[in-house]
Amino acid sequence: RWGTPDAEFNWCEEDYMLVDWVAEPLNTASNSIFVGLAAVFLALHRPAWDIAVLSVIQIVIGVGSVLYHSTLRYNMQLLDELPIFWYGTFAAEVCCRRLLGRDARWMRILLPLLTATLVFSDRTSAAHNAARGLMAVSFSCCVVVLAWGTTTIVKRAEEAAGDKGRRGAARAGMVHSAGFALFVASVMCWLGDNYACATLQNLPLGIPYPHLHSWWHVFVSLAMYCVLVVLHVDDAKG
């Protein structure tokens, strides 16, 4: 085993229930969908460089989350959280650049600065905790920007589409709506597994524990795939 779990989150799945070298087996295995979907996207399309970078970051998220859920160690938790932060900030920058024509130069400073602070500072230090707080706030803002950006990109595609492109634009809108629904479902699963564990482990009528955190992996990875598709459609319209 990897020692006493010291990560900030120990999810509702029972620890080490199958083997001694994987703390949360199903939460670990379900991360394969991050890697698989991004790899499939790269195999099926020839995306622009920024979409390719997002695809690679999605693969890194899956690998980092495997390490986190298999060990439940804090340093491995950072390998899960930091790539998610990279994805959110870079995706927001992609939207701003495509819609506003502006590069987010602040990202080039913020990402390496926060990453270095979190990796090399002591977990209990003021600098470490300040970096975690700044990461949480900035990531939340980036999610809002990403939601605005993908919505605006879809609307722009629908307005610019001629008769031949109308069907493709409508499909992009459906993908975008599906991605939003999947993201909401994923957040509900994340919250439920984190805050309602006792209830989930003791459901009536012998209903088994539903492994909501694994479903978070499934739903959010599908939502991220939808983001890749929407951005790719934005390139294809040109």
Q: Which tens digit of pLDDT belongs to each residue from 146-191?
A: 999 999 999 988 887 766 667 767 888 999 999 999 999 999 999 9
Average pLDDT value for residue range 111-128? 95
- Mean model confidence pLDDT for the chain: 92
Kindly report the number of other CB atoms within 10 A of residue 238's CB atom.
5
CA distance 146 to 62: 20
Average pLDDT value for residue range 190-206? 94
Residues 6+ away with beta carbon under 8 Å from 198 = none
pLDDT (tens digit, 9 = 90+) per residue, 34-85? 999 999 999 999 999 999 999 999 999 999 999 999 999 999 999 999 999 9
The confidence score (pLDDT) of residue 116 equals 96
The confidence score (pLDDT) of residue 227 equals 96
CA distance 193 to 214: 9
Average pLDDT value for residue range 4-22? 92
The confidence score (pLDDT) of residue 162 equals 65
Question: How would you label 180-215 residue by residue, b for 16+ Cβ within 10 Å and e otherwise?
Answer: eebbebbeebbebbeeebeebeeeeeeeeeebbbbb
Alpha carbon separation from 204 to 79, 121, 173, 201, 209 (Å, rounded): 37, 45, 40, 10, 10
The confidence score (pLDDT) of residue 55 equals 97
Tokens representing residue 220 in the block: 């959010």
Half-sphere exposure of 109 (CA within 13 A, CB side): 4
Whole-model pTM over 0.85? yes
Look at residue 238 and tell me whether its pLDDT is greater than 60.
Answer: no
The confidence score (pLDDT) of residue 103 equals 76
The confidence score (pLDDT) of residue 35 equals 97
Residues 6+ away with beta carbon under 8 Å from 94 = 50, 51, 54, 149, 231
Asked if 104 and 54 touch (Cβ cutoff 8 Å), the reply is no
Asked if 212 and 186 touch (Cβ cutoff 8 Å), the reply is no
